[in-house]
Structure 1
Amino acid sequence: MANKLKDNYTIAIVMLLLIQLVMLYYLKYANQSLPLTEFSLSFIGNIFNLLVALVLTLGIIFLPGAQLQKRVINYFVAASYLLLILSFIAANIKLPLEDLYILKQPGNKIFVAFLFTLYQLVLFSFISFLWFTVFTKAKTSLFKSVIYGVQMLILFFIITFLYLEASSYSSDNWSLSKNSKNVGVVFGAAVWSGNKPSPSLSSRVDKAIDLYNKGYAGNILLTGSNAPGELSEAEVAFIYAKEMGMDTTRISLELETTSSSEQIQFIKNKLAPDEKIKDIIIISDSYHLPRVLEISRFYNINIKVASSKLQLDFKDKLYNKIRESLALVVFWCFAL
Structure 2
Amino acid sequence: MSDLTAAPSRPAPEPDAGLGGVDVLTVGEALVSLRSSAPLNLGGSLTMHLAGAESNVAIGLARLGHRAAWVGRVSDDELGEFVLRQLRAEGVDTYGVRRDPDRPAGLMFLERRTADLTRVIYQRAGSAGSALGVDDLRGPLAAGPRLVHLSGVTPALSDSAREAVTWVAREAAAVGTPVCLDVNHRARLWSREAARAALVPLAGYASIVVASADELDLVAEPGADEGTAVAGLLRRGVHTVLVKLGADGARAYTRDGVTPVAAVPVTAVDTVGAGDAFTAGYLSGHLDGLDLTGRLGRAVALGAFAVVASGDWEGLPRRDELSLITGSVAGTTLR
TM-score, normalised relative to structure 2: 0.30
Structure showing the higher helix proportion among its residues: 1
TM-score, normalised relative to structure 1: 0.30
Identify the structure with bigger relative contact order (alpha carbons < 8 Å, sequence gap 6+): 1
